[in-house]
Amino acid sequence: MIRRHTRALMPLAALTIGATAGAVSLTGMAGAETTGTAGAATTGVVRTGAGEDGYSSSSRPSFNFGASDTLVAGRSGADTMVTYLKFTVANPGPGATVKNAQVVLTRESKALPNTLSLSRVADTTWTEKSLTAKNDPAIGAVVSNAKPKSDAATVTFDVSAVVKGAGTYTFAVTSRVANTPARFRSSEAATGKPSLNLTVARPAATKPPVEATPTPTKPAPTPSKPAPTPSKPVATPTTPAPTTPAPTTPAGGCAVDAKLVPSCGVLWGAAAGGFSDVPRDEALKTFEQKSGRTSTIYHTYHKGDELFPTKNEIAMTSDPANPRTLMLNWKVGYGTKWANVANGDQDARIDRLSTYIKTNYGTKKFFMVLHHEPENDVVATAGSGMTAKDYAAMFRHTVLRMKANGVTNAVFVVAYMNYEKWNNTSWWGDLYPGDDVVDWVGVDTYNNAQPGGFHTGDFNYMMNRTNAPAKFPGWYTWATTKHPGKPIMVAEWGVYDSSTVVDGKNKANVFATVLPQLAKMPQIKGLVYFETAKDQNGHDIRMDDTPEALAAFQKIAADPRFNVKI
């Protein structure tokens, strides 16, 4: 009881530290901006994601929030919430010296309090799945204070005095500010996950690895880019025979119908410049120039009360020399729960966007994805407002409301994660909103090009992988069996290479399997590449990170099956 009273006065989030070398997991080099001259030391940044994170709530002492994509720290009335973070840092290499270390958290929503503290936590045995206010570890001395602006995108804590090298480090974030709890993105979030960033100096003779991939202590599913687990099957990319013929295209080309389904061929698209500050339209134009083809589908992302399509997005679909259509991803339930949207609590938000679309985009057809990759946000507990059935109800309500508002040009897409952990759950099938409100069935899926690595395989593996065929037959098989009348949209796809030293032929080998295997999947009518130099797990998903990869990708883009007129 004494500890609980003491805790109530502490600031927002907490950190625990223990230097158990046996607990260390391999972390990557962040794409490693190395500096220095010949014969001199080089420096680089090593980023480690949180292996465990969660928060406790004094007014809900038995609640566990380990599966939430949000971390909360601070005070709201009589409720005191504390965020806990655990990082396992790998050995940065022989002779390496940690120059400084920072914990970086991304604001999820709401205004930040003007003071936050990061404290040391001695206990490293806690887990996010069991963390509650009844058993949360004691908070130690404050390591770092931050005074962020209320709308700051990120909050950084200097932990250089504590983090000197490999080990397991646990922290707590807290705040004394009344009624202004901070909300950060957790490691379950699609983007902006917590990270511990080390600036490391290395002797000139020691070459840092080009990139290494974390071995997380828990699955870290992402939009899109789920972290693989050892239980997943491994497949080896198979380079197809060069004689595999491409589907023939009519002399007049392929066209689309009222639901943007092509009469033949496949729609080609991209979401370029992800996780960067480059404007998306500029990034897409660069992507098109490098790949050699206009991206018929221009994929962008929006949430909450944002109005779209924006002026720049509209301009991109008004270029007669480069005809494009939009794929707009909208998290209509941002800042609330799916059940609340389904119950009509966000009808004003839906109505406002409906009016904007009718006024600014007329009747031009576009794809709309409602809350992509919902699996990552499901809270399966009945009454949570975020169950799989709540998602389906949210999707249905939003579609029907927009149609009732007179929005006739939206083509609705449901986009799954293709992550085995979620596919095998008992609730996964409950996510589907219904054939009457779903126009296309979509999937976000990624492969590792590292030979023998986890989630390594060819294009067929990317679309149809499974680690429990009795529970789930593979995504493409599921879609074509359960929804044979629906066109399939590969709403995001990409290839990264987790090899310690990236070999250009690895990604090229995977790209070489796309065309022949795509020809055997006729229900796929849209293929949209997600391009980023570094996703939330540090993966480089650019199609041109090596000359070999670019050359192989250009062969895909040049294929005539993508000559679809919109």
303 and 170 in a common domain: no
Is 130 inside a domain boundary?
A: yes
52 DSSP β-pair partners: 86
Is 246 inside a domain boundary?
A: no
Instruction: Determine the pLDDT at residue 308.
Output: 97
Instruction: Determine the pLDDT at residue 202.
Output: 76
Is 57 inside a domain boundary?
A: yes
Instruction: Determine the pLDDT at residue 249.
Output: 55
174 and 80 in a common domain: yes
263 and 194 in a common domain: no
Please answer whether residues 543 and 291 qualify as being in contact, where contact means their C-beta atoms are separated by less than 8 angstroms.
Answer: yes
- Rounded CA-CA distance 210/502 in Å is 7
- Rounded CA-CA distance 232/249 in Å is 38
- Rounded CA-CA distance 126/476 in Å is 39
DSSP states of 160-189: TTT--SSEEEEEEEE---TT--EEEE-TTS
Name the residue range of residue 174's domain: 2-202
180 and 41 in a common domain: yes
377 and 513 in a common domain: yes
Q: How many domains in the chain?
A: 2
Instruction: Determine the pLDDT at residue 159.
Output: 96
Single out the residue in 141, 167, 202 at which a domain terminates. Answer: 202
290 and 415 in a common domain: yes
Q: Which of 350, 337, 345, 338 is nearest to 305 (CA)?
A: 350
276 and 185 in a common domain: no
∠ CA(228), CA(230), CA(233), 5° rounding? 80
Q: How are beta strands 12-18 and 116-120 bridged, if at all?
A: parallel
Tens of pLDDT, residue by residue, the chain (566 residues)? 333 333 333 334 444 444 333 333 333 333 334 444 444 567 778 889 999 999 999 988 888 888 888 999 999 888 899 999 999 988 877 788 899 999 999 998 789 999 999 999 999 999 998 999 999 999 999 999 999 999 999 999 999 999 999 899 999 999 999 999 999 999 988 788 999 999 988 776 444 444 333 444 444 444 444 444 434 444 544 444 443 455 555 556 799 999 999 999 999 999 999 988 889 999 999 999 999 999 999 999 999 999 999 999 999 999 999 999 999 999 999 999 999 999 999 999 999 999 999 999 999 999 999 999 999 999 999 999 999 999 999 999 999 999 999 999 999 999 999 999 999 999 999 999 999 999 999 999 999 999 999 899 999 999 999 999 999 999 999 999 999 999 999 999 999 999 999 999 999 999 999 999 999 999 999 999 999 999 888 899 999 999 999 999 999 999 999 999 99
Residue 245, preceding peptide bond in cis (omega within 30° of 0): no
Helices (H) then strands (E): counts for the chain:
12, 21
What secondary structure letter does DSSP report for 63? -
Q: Which of 322, 399, 395, 326 is nearest to 360 (CA)?
A: 326
Q: How are beta strands 42-57 and 79-89 bridged, if at all?
A: antiparallel
Residues 6+ apart with CB under 8 A from 531: 270, 271, 272, 273, 274, 283, 287, 494, 541, 542, 543
Is 219 inside a domain boundary?
A: no
| Spacing of C-alpha 467 from chain mean position | 21
Q: Which of 428, 432, 430, 402 is nearest to 414 (CA)?
A: 432
260 and 191 in a common domain: no
Q: Which two tokens stand for residue 393?
A: 């109800």
427 and 284 in a common domain: yes
Instruction: Determine the pLDDT at residue 35.
Output: 44
- Rounded CA-CA distance 497/540 in Å is 7
CATH of the domain at 306: 3.20.20.80
Please answer whether residues 329 and 299 qualify as being in contact, where contact means their C-beta atoms are separated by less than 8 angstroms.
Answer: yes
Single out the residue in 159, 174, 202 at which a domain terminates. Answer: 202
Q: What global pTM score does this model have?
A: 0.60
DSSP states of 100-130: EEEEEEEB-SSPPPS-EEEEE-------TTT
177 and 40 in a common domain: yes
Burial 336-368 (b: 16+ CB within 10 A, else e): ebbbbbbeeebeebbeebbeebbeebeeebbbb
Is 442 inside a domain boundary?
A: yes
Q: Enumerate the active-site residues.
A: 373, 492
Is 238 inside a domain boundary?
A: no
- Rounded CA-CA distance 202/256 in Å is 56
Instruction: Determine the pLDDT at residue 429.
Output: 97
- In 361-487 the beta strands, taken as DSSP E runs, fall at 366-370, 410-416, 440-448
Give the C-alpha distances (Å, rounded to integers) separating 388 from 187, 382, 395, 413, 443. 20, 10, 11, 16, 16
Give the C-alpha distances (Å, rounded to integers) separating 286 from 329, 495, 543. 21, 19, 12
Single out the residue in 164, 185, 202 at which a domain terminates. Answer: 202
Instruction: Determine the pLDDT at residue 39.
Output: 47
278 and 183 in a common domain: no
Burial 43-53 (b: 16+ CB within 10 A, else e): bbbbbbbbbbb
Instruction: Determine the pLDDT at residue 398.
Output: 98
- Rounded CA-CA distance 21/162 in Å is 15
Is 89 inside a domain boundary?
A: yes
SS (HEC) of 526-556: EEEEECCCCCCCCCCCCCCCCHHHHHHHHHH
CB-based burial label for 520 (10 Å; 0-12, 13-18, 19+): exposed
Is 245 inside a domain boundary?
A: no
Instruction: Determine the pLDDT at residue 282.
Output: 93
374 and 491 in a common domain: yes
